[in-house]
Amino acid sequence: MTNAAQTFNAHAADYDEARRRLIPPFDRFYGTALEAVALANRSPARILDLGAGTGLLSSLLRQAYPAAHITLLDGAARMLEQARASMGEENLSYVEADMRDPLPSGSWDAVVSALAVHHLGDDDKRALMGRIHRALSPGGVFVNADQVAGPSARFDAVYAQWHETRARGAGSDDGEWQAAEARMAHDRCATVEHQLRWLRDAGFGEADCLFKDHRFAVMVAVR
């Protein structure tokens, strides 16, 4: 188990309760990720959620695409237990694995991820993008809703101050913010510009950033 997985296991029980306070653009962030799946050339029948955690994005996708089979993959077993307890088993699979491992077999209509890929180093991000491209069916989409780095140290500092100010304004107390900082200690964020280039280098013909508010961005690539 990675250090990040250990940290997220420790916070699994109270992770969802804090999410809306700690993600200032919560509705637009997740809403854009959900809308981006519709860029696939058909209604998705098989969806893979990488770093699925407690299943927040998967639960939204389940409502939008009730006939789709969704596979939730995460390295933190307790996060997946939370997801299973709230979502059940129907049209769902749960896989405990690291995002650096081979992807579950089969061809996917959509691969999605929310607030997970930024835990990987840049080389691992690029390798993952290549695996996702190969695993997607033609016309399939990869949607990555994630935290990103600023284009310079100045912007990173602006992003960090904005995030804390907005989170505390939404009701985050010292304990909740300190727990968030402990999780963010595992962050290895990359800029939007770098990630779009890596997606194109991986073979995606189209890639764009559909939403960005400071350090929160939604990127999409079409195979």
Average pLDDT of the chain is: 93
Q: Tokens at residue 114, please?
A: 């929310």
Tell me the per-residue pLDDT of 91-115, one tens digit each, with 9 for 90 and over. 999 999 999 999 999 999 999 999 9
Q: Tokens at residue 20, please?
A: 């809306």
Q: What is the mean predicted confidence (pLDDT) over 184-191?
A: 93
Q: Is the pLDDT of residue 222 over 90?
A: yes
**Rounded distance, CA 134 to CA 30, Å?**
25
Alpha helices in the chain (DSSP H): 3-10, 15-22, 26-36, 56-64, 77-87, 122-135, 153-169, 174-184, 192-201
Whether 221 and 37 have beta carbons less than 8 Å apart is answered as: no
Residue-level pLDDT at 13: 47
The residue segments making up the domain with residue 170 are: 3-222
Tell me the per-residue pLDDT of 68-91, one tens digit each, with 9 for 90 and over. 999 999 999 999 999 999 999 999
Residue-level pLDDT at 15: 53
Domain CATH for 51: 3.40.50.150
Q: How many domains does the chain have?
A: 1
Tell me the per-residue pLDDT of 38-57, one tens digit each, with 9 for 90 and over. 999 889 999 999 999 999 99
Q: Is the pLDDT of residue 194 over 90?
A: yes
pTM here is 0.91
The CA-to-CA distance between both ends of the chain, in Å, stands at 31
Percent above pLDDT 70 for the chain: 93
Number of CB atoms found within 10 A of residue 144's CB: 30
Residue-level pLDDT at 183: 87
Residue type for position 128 = L
